[in-house]
Amino acid sequence: MTEQEQKSPKKEARIVAFLCNWCSYAGSDAAGTARLRQPENLRIIRVPCSGRINPLFVLKAFSEGADGVLVSGCHPNDCHYTDGNFYARRRLEALKEYLPFIGIDKNRFSYQWVSASEGQRWQKVVTNFVKRINSIL
């Protein structure tokens, strides 16, 4: 990155999003089909289940320079694999509280539940998350 780029105020936030195949990925797709306006800062990675997400994925993303990481899966009790998101919740909560200790603002990370039909909710989640990241940057 050149010095000029660093100084430029309009730095675009780069956000890595991990979405579960069955709910959130379909939910974001629904938001797209319904032509809901949403920020373009996300780089979406589709995973089979939020339980597939290793906390190290998140840490690796941060260490490679992501400005924010968003994880989204099915609502509790709605997991396609019955209990993947329950495990994910425990891991990601432990991770989230740990981030400040290694010098990462915990507002740069969030995990959310969005189902396949909740295009509107997805739009709000993304908009608010990007807003929050931009306020930190």
CB 2 to other proteins: min, Å: 20
- What mask, x for binding other proteins by CB under 8 A, covers residues 68 to 87? --------xx-----x--xx
- What mask, x for binding other proteins by CB under 8 A, covers residues 10 to 49? ----------------------------------------
95 sits near other proteins (criterion: CB under 8 A): yes
What 3-state DSSP class applies to 30? helix
Q: Which helix (H) or strand (E) holds 109?
A: strand 109-113
Two structure tokens written together for 110: 């969030």
Number of other residues whose CB lies within 10 A of the CB of residue 125: 23
Two structure tokens written together for 14: 């780069």
Query: CA-to-CA distance for 17 and 35, rounded, in angstroms?
Result: 20
Note the Cα 102 to chain centre separation in Å. Answer: 20
Interacting residue with other proteins among 71, 116, 125, 133 (CB under 8 A): 125
Using CB under 8 A as the criterion, which residues of the chain lie in contact with other proteins when the complex forms? 54-56, 59-60, 63, 76-77, 83, 86-87, 89-91, 93-95, 97-98, 100-105, 110-113, 121, 124-125, 128-129, 132
